[in-house]
Amino acid sequence: MTDLLINIDHVATLRNARRESFPDPVQAARECLEGGAKGIVFHLREDRRHINDDDVRRLKADLDTKLDFELSISREIVGICCEIQPYLATLVPERREEITTEGGLDAIEHRMRIKETITRLKGEGVSNVALFLDPDLDQIDEAARLGATAIELHTGDYANALRDEKRVHILDRMKAAAERAHQNGLIVHAGHGLDTENYPLFGSSVPHLKEVSIGFAIVARAIFIGIRGAVEELNNIIASSPYTG
């Protein structure tokens, strides 16, 4: 079964909108785990627009679970990741003006910085490093050459597609990318824009899917049914949408 990890960034976004101390993303993370999440995802951005350094340290200190630390290749942020020692570091592109992460990392253009970052992370004890990539076979091959242990497929184009026929075309690329990653010995993750409506087709179509990272859809749904209920609901959908080939 594909594992569900929950991204709690949007809980911090809500807190920061009023410059309050609540809602607490660490408490939200506990609720997600109670609801059946297999781990917690967070993105410590350079501008600290949602998750901050204190959140990160409390997540590490308070939770006994898989932590996926999303980060740019900024040396400052990489240093914090090395200090925290998460289970997984996922390298993502980052631009100050974007609302959310837009597109995958270009592992070919930035190969030297990425290689340096992966070497530093692994050298300081963070042994699992993923690259957040578009479903491009050349990018997948480069991730393997650079020493990544996993890739996270950027599913935003699939999630934003308005017609089923367009989604099917994008899924063909997703399937090919997952197969290539598997052939290269890379673990396959996926995330960005997945929700209760679009997950079933995705989950039943993409092979070798070890885990998915979902954040906004969970936090939005939690307004109506609570965060535990939202996690349980999506876990049930994942369980009923196994890969069918």
Question: Among this protein's residues, is 70 annotated catalytic?
Answer: yes
Catalytic site residue from 31, 70, 94, 211: 70
Give the H/E segment covering residue 245: none
Residue 196 falls in which region: left (phi positive, over 0), alpha (psi -120 to 50) or beta:
alpha
Catalytic site residue from 152, 189, 192, 211: 192
Catalytic site residue from 43, 50, 154, 189: 43
The burial of 26, by beta-carbon neighbours within 10 Å (0-12 exposed, 13-18 middle, 19 or more buried), is given as: buried
Question: Among this protein's residues, is 43 annotated catalytic?
Answer: yes
Question: Among this protein's residues, is 233 annotated catalytic?
Answer: no
CB 69 within 8 A of CB 84: yes
> In sequence order, which residues have a C-beta less than 8 Å from that of residue 147 and are 6 or more positions away?
115, 118, 119, 122, 129
Computed on alpha carbons and rounded to an integer, the radius of gyration of the chain in Å comes to 17
Residue reference for tokens 């410590």: 44
> In sequence order, which residues have a C-beta less than 8 Å from that of residue 90 and are 6 or more positions away?
41, 68, 69, 70, 71, 129, 130, 131, 132, 150, 152, 189
| Distances, alpha carbon 161 to alpha carbons 42, 99, 168, 176, in Å | 25, 19, 10, 19
Q: Active-site residue numbers?
A: 43, 70, 192
